[in-house]
Amino acid sequence: MILTALALLLSGTNLLCAPMDGRILVLNFECSGVANGYSDAIGDSLRSHIVKLGGQVVSHNLFEQLIRSRGKTESDLNFMPDEIKSILPQLNGQGAVYGQVYMSHGMLTMDMKYIEGNLPAPIIINPFVVGNLKDLYNVIPEAAYIILSPDKESPSVISVSPSDNSDKLDEYLDMKISFSEPMNPETFSLKAKPARCGAAMVM
Amino acid sequence: MWSRYGDVIYDDKTHTFTFKLHLYGNIDYEFMVNGGENRGFKDISGNPAQKYVWKISTGSS
């Protein structure tokens, strides 16, 4: 879904497909390395692009007042999703975006996470990896679009090979499992159960 | 009763995992994606895949 959103954006298609209804809290990301000091500017740019795309954002001034009253800093909250969730109702916010911008292997990386009150864990958005600050500003419109359409859909298996109920198969098999959307390859985990002995194992 | 060998290959264009299995002859097997406590497969946003079950049978060895 995220890749589809990116493809739509890059193809120049009108983006206002299904913007999120509720207001979004966008924190100023925790910035380090060459991005140190750009936290406010990156946050402002992201909020501005979300509004341009038809989204609604929580007043950042209101958010800052609230966290000050709680004795917290915005920098702290970028690492405290439960704290963010707890303040969303007071700000009449549906969800929040937070994260970090940092240097890794000579590249500037922007990690974004999205959280809502009823989500057990944040949705981790694929990081943007760019060469420099200018390039980072160039991807912020894409980031804004992704924020407006966070992926909450569970992927499903669309085909397997050998197919269901195949019989008289060879003992050595090439097996394929195809999913409906991009998967994290490191999460491969398949359960197999020989029907006659019932011992299930994960491979 | 079975083993996986070789690497698991993931094709990000077709969202397909490919791998090799060694099964025993004349056995019915049930495979399961994310059933029960097995919640491994996730998309790039961290959403777990829906449960999927299928069966295959091997011939006489």
pLDDT for A196 equals 61
pLDDT for B4 equals 79
Nearest CB to A169; choose among B17, B41, B57: B57
Contacts of A78 (CB under 8 A, 6+ apart): A27, A29, A30, A98, A99, A100
Residue A63 above 80 pLDDT?
Answer: yes
pLDDT tens for each residue of B20-60:
999 999 999 999 998 766 568 988 777 889 999 999 999 98
Task: Give yes or no for a contact between A67 and A60, defined as CB atoms under 8 angstroms apart.
Answer: no
Query: How close is the nearest chain B Cα to the Cα of A128, in Å?
Result: 13
Query: What ipTM was reported for this prediction?
Result: 0.94
Do the chains contact at A185 and B3, CB–CB below 8 Å? no
pLDDT tens for each residue of A19-31:
466 899 999 999 9
Task: Give yes or no for a contact between A162 and B57, defined as CB atoms under 8 angstroms apart.
Answer: no
Q: How confident is the model at residue A1 (pLDDT cuts 50, 70, 90)?
A: very low
pLDDT tens for each residue of A147-175:
887 777 889 999 999 999 999 999 999 99
Do the chains contact at A171 and B46, CB–CB below 8 Å? no
Do the chains contact at A191 and B31, CB–CB below 8 Å? yes
pTM confidence score = 0.58
DSSP result, A11-56: TT----SS--SSEEEEPPPEE-GGGTT-HHHHHHHHHHHHHHTT-E
Q: How many CB atoms lie within 10 A of CB A189?
A: 15
Residue B21 has φ and ψ, to the nearest 5°, of -125, 145
pLDDT tens for each residue of A70-129:
898 898 888 899 999 999 999 999 999 999 999 988 899 999 999 988 777 788 887 889
Which residues of B are less than 8 Å from A121 in CB distance? 46
Rounded distance, CA B31 to CA B53, Å?
Answer: 6
Residue A14 above 50 pLDDT?
Answer: no
Nearest CB to A151; choose among B24, B32, B47: B47
Angle among Cα B21, B22, B27 to the nearest 5 degrees reads 110
Do the chains contact at B30 and A192, CB–CB below 8 Å? yes
Residue A201 above 70 pLDDT?
Answer: no
Rounded distance, CA A192 to CA A152, Å?
Answer: 28
**Alpha carbon of residue B22 to chain centroid:** 12
